[in-house]
Amino acid sequence: MNIVFLILVHWLIVLTLAPLFTGVITKVKAFFAGKKGPSVFQAYFDLQKLFQKSSVYSSTTTWIFRAAPIVNLAAVLVLSLLVPVGVLKAPVQFAGDIFLAAYILGLARFFMIAAGLDTGSSFEGMGASREAFFSCLTELALFMNFITLSLVARSISLSTMIGADFPLSWKLMGPILLLVAASFFIVILAENARIPVDDPDTHLELTMIHEVMILDHSGVDLAYMFYAAIIKLFVFAGILVPIIFPIQTGNITVDMLVFLGAMLVVSIMIGVVESVMARLRLNRVQNLLLIAFALAFFGFVVKMWKG
Amino acid sequence: MLTILILMPFLCGLGVLLPLSKVFRLKLFLAVSLAHSLITVSFWRQMPIQEYHGFLVLDPLGLILLSIISFLFLSVSIFMVGYFQHEPRRNRVFMACLFFLLSTMTIVTVSYHFGLLWVAIEATTLFSAPLISFHRNQQSLQATWRYLLVCSVGIALALLGTFFLAIAAHDVHSLLLPVLLKGAASLSVNWMKLSIIFFIVGYGCKMGLAPTHSWKPEAYGQATGMVVVLMAGALTQCSFLALLRVAQICNKTGLTGFYSSILIVSGVLSLIVPAMFILGERNIKRAFAYSSVEHMGLLVLGLGLGAVGLFGALFHMINNALAKVIMFLTAGSVAQKYGSTSADQVRGVIHLYPLTGVFLIAALLAGTGMFPFGTFHSELLILNAMIISKQYLLVAISVVCLAIMFIGIGKIVLDIIHGQPKEPVLPKNENLFMNAAIAAAVVLLITIGLWMPSPLEKLLHDAVALVEGAT
Amino acid sequence: MTSWVDASCIIIVFLSLIILSNYRVVAMIRVFAIQSLVLGLLPFFMHASCISSRDVLISLITLILKVALVPSILFWAIRHVSMRAEIKPIIGFGSSIVFGALIIAGAFWISLSLKLPGKPVSDLILPCSLSTVLLGFMIMVTRTRAVTQVLGYLIMENGIFLFAVSLFDVMPVLIEMGILLDIFVAVFIMAIVVNHINEEFEKSAESIIPKIGETF
């Protein structure tokens, strides 16, 4: 089939499904708080509202500030091309695409940090410095996970590691998957600014990391940033799901349903973790990230041991 | 018979936890120690039969240690009668732990199963810990804690060693000593080597060999003299018995060279390290602790050298124990009279308490191996073994270290004895019981130093043959 | 049941790592209880096809002692202590985690040259037990509070027990019982000493290791 058609279909599905899972997380948090909470489709309405508004730009900002949302969304969309969604194969796959994935994320993050610094506000600068530090440690854990998975799959392409003809199985390599899953879950929480690393609902700028960097964006820019965060969460969860639920029945409908169900479970897990834990003190967050690295490293050692 | 020997102190220990009078506990302890000694003496005439399918067996090696333990507990029980006359603290937990210690040490001497040996040695560690912190002040608690932690780690390593031995004996399928000796040819060499290393590190930590000796100065410095006698004279030698049992197996499997090199290195280290620290020391109990480390080094050197050295080491076990009785009971007596054992605070002992002063000199001579005390003879035997095996460098190092030890301890003892007497804490009269206990040990040590009775000689030769594997 | 045994070994090491990086004493004791729970269930996983009364006995005693009694003793020992957090360990929390990961790698590397005779159920038992022992030792050495040092010792013992689980047929049951009992009494006595320490040292955060230069 035509590659452009595949890419467009992939994007359509990602763009449509992603906001749903963010809504699931919010619903779980509301349930724990004893509230009814906003509807599961609230993210769609928020995006619709934001797309209709106009942006306001501060006079201290330069082109970086205007470029950051575009680069962010574009990078995340390219990332989504590398990750399979259920039975839908990744349109773009080649050996070494995990490096492309990690550095695309790095590009997006770089522009977000630069935009934060560009505003000249001290709050954004503070968020930028925190983000820069924590992402160093997160990337360490992320790469360690990728290394272990690539050893298991004997390939350095993301799609081969978690794609349709994956070699992962709990029976054969249960302990390694356990460790990689635990480590990757912590990476998800860190990358997507969830508790215990960052509280997405706080209104106190001093306590924010991700939210404070996008504080000055408005209108369509904010919509792009918001959409990028949602899709990033969807993509990361999409990587975690085949690790936790490596189920292949061969039937397309069943597999797709299993995938969506698993994504739901992962979202609920994130929601539960967000509800029962408090955000860690900032000097403890590095311990959490180092634990993620240590777990992934342990998985790597076990894989080397098992041959 | 063996069961009675073990159960009697244990049950009395449980009984002593009841609310009883302090004096009654002391008398009970004296009675039990006396009974224990009498039974042990009867074993010299005739060895008891083995019990529990060969788990508890008394052989010549065990009998040496058992006699040492008996005598030590007896002298401590006599000393205690005098000591507690002026000691206001309650002694309930203290006495109970002493009883349990006697019982578990007896188990160590007769256990023929390596797992049981480990359990007993761990138990002795646990029951000796509360004895150190009898006075419950900050320093003694810190000393107890360090002792507990360091020795627990050592014992844990020894447990790993026991497990490695079990793996090495996979085909033999048992950890009983005679079974292991019979099937020695089928033991896996690599796992045996690993097990030997862990045993030496683990039980050596318990013995107080360098470099894991750091708990000794603090623990011996803080605990009362009577407790230290039991620890330095009996507890450390129980761990040495464990090493002797391991040596029995090694000699049968042909790993003699491997373990003796490790032991010689530890022994030399244990001679050098205390010599480095003794010269700045002012507290006599800590100085005696360093001396204890050095004596352990000598024991281990003797074991490593084999044959003549082994005979010397086994004889040194006895002499060392007696010397420790003299050294630490005297130090305990000084501590009670003056409230301190530091040479900065205690002076002129010979003017006020002449007998204690004489005992201090005896302690100095006995502890550093001077004629006519028995320690002179056994140290000479070990040095002789070094010369026979042409380890001249070893001889030189040992002699220098022993000399430094003498200078260090001598300085402190002479400072304490002579000089202007400071006012002591207690009324000026010597205590009969305390002195009797120390005097008995002095007399015994000098006697053994001058003349070795033939039953003892036979026992030592039997024990050497047992370890060497000739029988 | 190899994969279950594998997973249990991995979880035990994982939990030791969590304790290594943790700074709240109460949480550490609870994680230790979970670790002992997994350890207690291990004999069942190993002999799933032929569970003997010996397995049941050892599992039961381990569960009662290590999961129920030992944590409650430790909680009793710190009942009066107001400061529940840990002061900084000697090498810092972050460095401890990285060191812990390196220790695990080291333990696996050492196990490459050690071969267990016979056919063990899982080949992960030896390296995991070695890692746990080393991690426990590290906790003991780098921490300054007495209770955490006891926990380090207990984790060491857990690692040794994990190793012993594969040696069941060589050790008689009575000796296993003796070992477990010894460890229990050890913790009991340690807890009593810790209690005395807490009473004696007014500031509960004071380090049990004397400051450099302080002699007595």
Tens digits of per-residue pLDDT, A138-171? 999 999 999 998 888 888 888 888 864 555 667 6
- For an interface test with A, give the residue of C2, C4, C5, C14 to mutate (most A CBs within 10 A): C14
Could you say which residues of chain B have pLDDT below 70?
Answer: 424-430, 470-471
Give the Cα separation of C153 and C170 in Å (integer). Answer: 25
CB contact under 8 Å between C189 and B129, yes or no, is yes
Please give the C-alpha separations between residue B347 and each of B230, B342, B351, B354, C149, in angstroms, as whole numbers. Answer: 27, 9, 9, 13, 41
The mean pLDDT of chain A is: 88
In chain C, whose CA is at the least distance from the CA of B161?
Answer: C160
In chain A, whose CA is at the least distance from the CA of C98?
Answer: A294
Preceding omega of B48 cis (within 30 degrees of 0): no
Check CB contact of A254 with chain C, cutoff 8 Å: no
Chains B and A physically touch (3 or more Cβ atom pairs below 8 Å): no
- For an interface test with C, give the residue of B152, B194, B197, B281 to mutate (most C CBs within 10 A): B152
Q: Are B143 and B133 in contact (CB under 8 A)?
A: yes
Q: Among partner residues C10, C111, C124, which is closest to A179 by beta-carbon distance?
A: C10
Preceding omega of C210 cis (within 30 degrees of 0): no
Check CB contact of B415 with chain C, cutoff 8 Å: no
Please compute the mean of the pLDDT values over residues C95-123 and round it to a whole number: 84
CB < 8 Å to B139, chain C: 216
Whole domain around residue C150: which residue ranges? 2-215
Q: Interior CA angle at B81 toward B75 and B83, to 5°?
A: 95
pLDDT, position C119: 67
CB contact under 8 Å between B174 and C170, yes or no, is yes
B35 alpha carbon, distance to own chain's centre: 21
In chain B, whose CA is at the least distance from the CA of C151?
Answer: B149
CB contact under 8 Å between C105 and A286, yes or no, is no
Check CB contact of C38 with chain A, cutoff 8 Å: no
> A125 — phi, psi (to 5°)?
-60, -40
CB < 8 Å to C93, chain A: 287
DSSP 3-state of B46: coil
pLDDT, position C212: 45
Total structural domains in chain C?
1
A125 or B185, higher pLDDT: A125
Q: Are B468 and B345 in contact (CB under 8 A)?
A: no
pLDDT band at C204 (very low <50, low <70, confident <90, very high): very low
Length of chain C: 216
Check CB contact of B197 with chain C, cutoff 8 Å: no
Give the global pTM.
0.85
Q: Among partner residues C140, C169, C181, which is closest to B149 by beta-carbon distance?
A: C140
Check CB contact of A133 with chain C, cutoff 8 Å: no
CB < 8 Å to C86, chain A: none
- Return the minimum-mean-pLDDT range out of A34-43, A180-189, B209-218, C178-187: C178-187
pLDDT, position A71: 95
E strands, B203-256, are none
Question: Which of these, B140, B155, B412, lies nearest to B282 by C-alpha position?
Answer: B412
Q: Are B242 and B199 in contact (CB under 8 A)?
A: yes
Q: What residue type is C182 in one-letter code?
A: D
Q: Are C74 and C29 in contact (CB under 8 A)?
A: yes
CB contact under 8 Å between B138 and C163, yes or no, is no
Residues 178-207 of C with CB under 8 A from B: 178-179, 181-182, 185-186, 189-190, 192-193, 196-197, 200-201
CB contact under 8 Å between B138 and C146, yes or no, is no
A16 alpha carbon, distance to own chain's centre: 16
- Return the minimum-mean-pLDDT range out of A53-62, A290-299, B418-427, C151-160: B418-427
A133 or C179, higher pLDDT: A133
Q: Among partner residues A182, A287, A305, which is closest to C21 by beta-carbon distance?
A: A287
Q: Are B294 and B401 in contact (CB under 8 A)?
A: yes
Check CB contact of C56 with chain B, cutoff 8 Å: no
DSSP per-residue codes, C81-128 = ----BPPPPTT-HHHHHHHHHHHHHHHHHHHTT---SS--S-TTHHHH
Check CB contact of B218 with chain C, cutoff 8 Å: yes
Instruction: Report whether pLDDT(C86) > 70.
Output: no
pLDDT, position A77: 94
Read off the pLDDT of residues B13-72 as tens digits, 9 standing for 90 and up: 888 888 877 788 888 888 889 998 998 888 888 887 777 777 888 888 899 999 999 999
Directed axis angle between helix C2-21 and helix A282-306, to 10°?
A: 150
DSSP 3-state of A55: coil
* Inter-chain contacts counted by CB atoms under 8 A, chains A and C: 65
Q: Among partner residues C160, C170, C182, which is closest to B119 by beta-carbon distance?
A: C182
* Inter-chain contacts counted by CB atoms under 8 A, chains B and C: 101
Check CB contact of A171 with chain C, cutoff 8 Å: yes
Q: What residue type is B364 in one-letter code?
A: L
CB contact under 8 Å between B153 and C156, yes or no, is yes
CB contact under 8 Å between B218 and C178, yes or no, is no
CB < 8 Å to C5, chain A: none
CB contact under 8 Å between A171 and C14, yes or no, is no
Give the Cα separation of A23 and A230 in Å (integer). Answer: 10
pLDDT, position A1: 64
CB < 8 Å to A295, chain C: 14, 17
pLDDT, position C84: 63
Give first-to-last CA distance, chain C, whole Å. 55
DSSP 3-state of B346: coil
Instruction: Report whether pLDDT(C203) > 70.
Output: no
pLDDT, position B424: 66
Check CB contact of A301 with chain C, cutoff 8 Å: yes
pLDDT, position B471: 41
In chain C, whose CA is at the least distance from the CA of A287?
Answer: C94
Give the Cα separation of B35 and C14 in Å (integer). Answer: 53
Residues 104-133 of C with CB under 8 A from A: 104-105, 108, 111, 123-124, 127
pLDDT, position B296: 92
CB < 8 Å to C216, chain B: 139, 142-143, 218, 221-222
Give the Cα separation of B306 and B430 in Å (integer). Answer: 45
CB < 8 Å to B159, chain C: 160, 179
Give the Cα separation of B167 and C54 in Å (integer). Answer: 20
DSSP 3-state of C71: helix
Read off the pLDDT of residues A209-243 as tens digits, 9 standing for 90 and up: 888 888 888 889 999 999 999 999 999 999 998 88
Check CB contact of C170 with chain B, cutoff 8 Å: yes
Q: What is the CA radius of gyration of chain B?
A: 21
